[in-house]
Structure 1
Amino acid sequence: MAESPTDAAPDRVAQIQADWQRERPDVDTSAQGVIGRLHRVGMSLTRRLIEVYARFDLTEPEFDLLATLRRSPGHARAAGDLAAHTMVTTGGLTKRVDRLEERGLVRRRGEASDARRRTVELTDAGRELIDRAFTAHMRNERDLVDELSPSDAADLERILTTWLRRLGEP
């Protein structure tokens, strides 16, 4: 059974809150308990996810780009559409596609005269790599979520879904 926050030894966020309470007792720092811990959890999760991507010589944005292509119809997307479906900015997209194309993982096809009408598609090598990387990624995510009880994981998913919606995330 997972321990409750009151059962656990004070963590770094609790220490920061205590320091602020001492220095600025006039300021309510209770939200820092949620935001600070969520931020630290996010950084820790990112570190653990990146370790898996690195085993396949991929960065996080490259993994995301390949995964987006893999789950797209025909394993391809218009170049102009690709940034909207990934966590890659339009400015960084060309560089990442170039690197993946040099490695033989994707190819561009379509009108050379109009980059907006070009399509980026997975090659067979790209599909094989992202399939292996995605399998490892899902195993890693399962291991990370299994640190929580099934009930806590379900509660957390529900809470985060609600919060993202309220923050205006699609």
Structure 2
Amino acid sequence: MKTGDLLARVQADWRAARPDIDATPMLTVIAVQRTSALLERELQAFFASVDLTPPNFDVLATLRRSAPPQGLLLSRLGTLMAITPPAVTKRIDALEARGLVKRHPHEADRRALLVQLTDEGRALVDALLPRHVENERRLLSGLDDAERAQLRALLVKLAASFEPSEA
């Protein structure tokens, strides 16, 4: 069922079952969740063509755009990606097994580990990035540039309303 049809049905059902309840917030959340699931499905299919997952590509892309030549601390990588240390480790383990990243000790703090792209990892990101951006452009093609900017601003505003404040 198309999202618009589903939302109309949910709204009609709630009006009939509980006319005293305004289901509008529920409809908005359902629309966001459905869109997120559809985008995730499309991204999974895109990255499967190179035997990656969207989260693993996110690691590679974050290293490509944010890492200095010596690499990033694992903790900094987790912060930039907003994921937990175990999630970072799991993703790095998978990418390291494929030869796309490597870990090495920090020169000044032997307890800390740095992670960096290998030549193969860098080449993969550089080759895949233009196709990825074009795929995302396709996924957003139902919106014009102004609508995309407005959607992005509204999603940032919504997320900020319940993200923890940084001290």
CA gap of 1:152–1:82, structure 2 versus 1, over 3 A, is closer
Higher relative contact order (CA 8 A, sep 6+): 1
TM-score, normalisation: structure 2: 0.84
Give the equivalent residue in structure 2 for 1:136: 131
Separation in 1 of the partners of 2:49 and 2:162?
Answer: 34
SS at match of 2:72: strand
Give me the identity figure in percent: 38
Deviation at 1:163, TM superposition (A): 2.4
Asked whether the equivalents of residues 3 and 31 of structure 2 are also in contact (C-alpha less than 8 Å), the reply is no
1:41 is the counterpart of 2:35: yes
SS at match of 1:120: strand
Separation in 1 of the partners of 2:48 and 2:70?
Answer: 23
1:17 is the counterpart of 2:17: no
Separation in 1 of the partners of 2:32 and 2:137?
Answer: 19
Separation in 1 of the partners of 2:153 and 2:35?
Answer: 17
SS at match of 2:20: coil
Structure 2 unaligned blocks of 5 or more: none
For residues 104-126 of structure 1, the C-alpha deviation after alignment (integer angstroms, 9 at most, x for no partner) is 10111116xx8751101100000
Aligned length: 162
Correspondence 1:3-152 to 2 at 5 A: 11-72=5-66, 73-74=68-69, 76-110=71-105, 116-152=111-147
TM-score, normalisation: structure 1: 0.83
1:140 maps to a residue whose letter is: N
Separation in 2 of the partners of 1:50 and 1:82?
Answer: 22
The CA RMSD measured in Å over matched residues stands at 2.5
